Amino acid sequence: MISVTDLRNGTKVEMDGGLWECLDFQHQKIGRGGAKVVAKFRNLENGSIVERTFNASEKLSDIFIDYKTMQFLFADGDLFTFMDLETYDQPTLDRAQIGDAAKWLKPNTEVTVDYYGEKPLKVTLPNVIELAITETDPGVKGDTVSGGSKPATLETGAVVQVPLFVDPGTIVRVDTRSGEYLGRA
């Protein structure tokens, strides 16, 4: 058990029959009354966000997450198959568990999968990934009115803004957290 006064960003707890991650917290002391803790949580199973207020004396069940390094194998519709690099098990996760990370996944990409018991919760990509550009408009010399960038479609189908000099077939580095072009590989 963990006291609500010990909540920090990233703390994972079990409450209301679900698994939750603390996104934000604030301790409040109001005049003569007791202290309160206002916390914002994200559900680890479905991604919903709630805000809850607790008395300072309340306790929550903390949970322990196991992190496994896996390799993405292939996607079949909304199902994504991974391989555990230690046991060679091949769990299948759906698009809801992967979320926004699905647009950066290409075969053989190593990712971290968060497990609670035997249940996979979410996929965490590396911060920087290298992908090839499959389609982009040609850059016209002197065309910098648009800020010097153009949209480019990557091999996974994601679209990022790249400089005018980048051509199709170029391998680029992309920040998976912000979707920002970082440079050529």
Q: Identify the band that residue 25 occupies on the pLDDT scale cut at 50, 70 and 90.
A: very high
The answer on 172 and 132 residing in a single domain is yes
Query: Residues 91-101: what's their mean pLDDT?
Result: 84
Q: Is the pLDDT of residue 162 over 70?
A: yes
The answer on 70 and 57 residing in a single domain is no
The answer on 134 and 114 residing in a single domain is no
CATH number for the domain harbouring residue 15: 2.30.30.30
Q: Is the pLDDT of residue 97 over 60?
A: yes
| pLDDT given for residue 118 in this prediction | 86
CATH number for the domain harbouring residue 138: 2.40.50.140
- Cα(169)–Cα(132) distance, integer angstroms: 6
- pLDDT per residue as tens digits for the range 34-81: 889 999 998 887 778 899 999 888 999 988 889 999 999 999 988 999
- pLDDT per residue as tens digits for the range 123-139: 889 999 999 999 988 86
- Cα(72)–Cα(89) distance, integer angstroms: 12
| pLDDT given for residue 145 in this prediction | 57
The answer on 58 and 83 residing in a single domain is no
The answer on 47 and 32 residing in a single domain is yes
Query: Residues 98-114: what's their mean pLDDT?
Result: 89
The answer on 58 and 95 residing in a single domain is no
The answer on 53 and 21 residing in a single domain is yes
Q: How far is CA 7 from CA 24, 41, 43, in A?
A: 9, 11, 16
| pLDDT given for residue 137 in this prediction | 85
The answer on 135 and 95 residing in a single domain is no
User: How many independent structural domains does the chain possess?
Assistant: 3
The answer on 118 and 144 residing in a single domain is no
Range of the structural domain that residue 58 is part of: 2-62
Of 22, 43, 62, the last residue of a domain is 62
- Give percent above pLDDT 70 in the chain: 95
Lay out the sheet containing 18-29: strands in order across.
2-3, 59-62, 12-15, 18-29, 35-43, 49-55
| pLDDT given for residue 147 in this prediction | 63
Of the given ranges (75-84, 108-117, 145-154), which has the lowest mean pLDDT?
145-154
Of 42, 62, 82, the last residue of a domain is 62
